[in-house]
Amino acid sequence: MRLGFDAKRAFHNTTGLGNYARDVLRILAEHGPGHAYLAYSPRPGRADLAIPGARLEVRGPRGAARLLPALWRQAGVVRDLVADRLDVFHGLSNELPLGLERTSVAGVVTIHDLIFERHPELYPPIDRRIYRWKARSAAARARLVIAISAQTARDLAELYGVPRDRIRVVYQGCSALFRAEAPEARLRTVAARFGLPDGFVLQVGTIERRKNLLLTVEALAGLPEVSLVVVGRPTPYAREVEDRVRARGLDGRVRFLSGVTADELAALYRLAAVVVYPSLIEGFGIPIVEALVSGTPVVTTRGGVFPEAGGPGSAYVDPRDPGELRETLAAILADPDRRQRMRAAGFAHAERFGDARIAADLLRVYEEARG
Provide the pLDDT for residue 54: 66
Provide the pLDDT for residue 105: 97
For the chain, residues with pLDDT lower than 70 are 14, 45-54
2-173+354-370 and 176-353 share one fold:
yes
Q: Distance of CA 355 to CAs 32, 262, 348, 352, Å?
A: 10, 18, 14, 9
CA distance 21 to 137: 20
| Residues whose CB falls within 8 Å of the CB of residue 353, separated by 6 or more in sequence, listed in order | 171, 172, 173, 174, 289, 293
**Per-residue exposure over 108-130, b if at least 16 CB sit within 10 Å of its own CB, e if not:** bbbbbbbbbbeeeeebeeeeeee
Helix, strand and coil in the chain, % to nearest 5 = 50, 15, 35
CA distance 234 to 236: 7
Pairing of strands 144-147, 167-169: parallel
Helices and strands in the chain: count of H runs, count of E runs: 16, 13
What residue spans define the domains of the chain? 2-173+354-370, 176-353
| Residues whose CB falls within 8 Å of the CB of residue 51, separated by 6 or more in sequence, listed in order | 10, 22, 25, 26, 29
> What is 2-173+354-370's CATH number?
3.40.50.2000
Reference 210, options 323, 123, 94; nearest CA is 123
Helix axes 125-141, 150-160, angle to 10 degrees: 90
Chain segment 49-60, per-residue pLDDT in tens: 566 666 788 888
| Residues whose CB falls within 8 Å of the CB of residue 348, separated by 6 or more in sequence, listed in order | 311, 313
Q: Are 272 and 229 in contact (CB under 8 A)?
A: yes
Provide the pLDDT for residue 325: 98
Provide the pLDDT for residue 52: 64
| Residues whose CB falls within 8 Å of the CB of residue 205, separated by 6 or more in sequence, listed in order | 211, 232, 277, 279, 287
* Superfamily (CATH H level) for 176-353: Glycogen Phosphorylase B; (3.40.50.2000)
CA distance 265 to 201: 14
- Name the β-bridge partners of 146: 110, 168
H or E segment to which residue 107 belongs:
strand 106-111
Q: Is 11 helix (H, G, I), strand (E, B) or coil?
A: helix
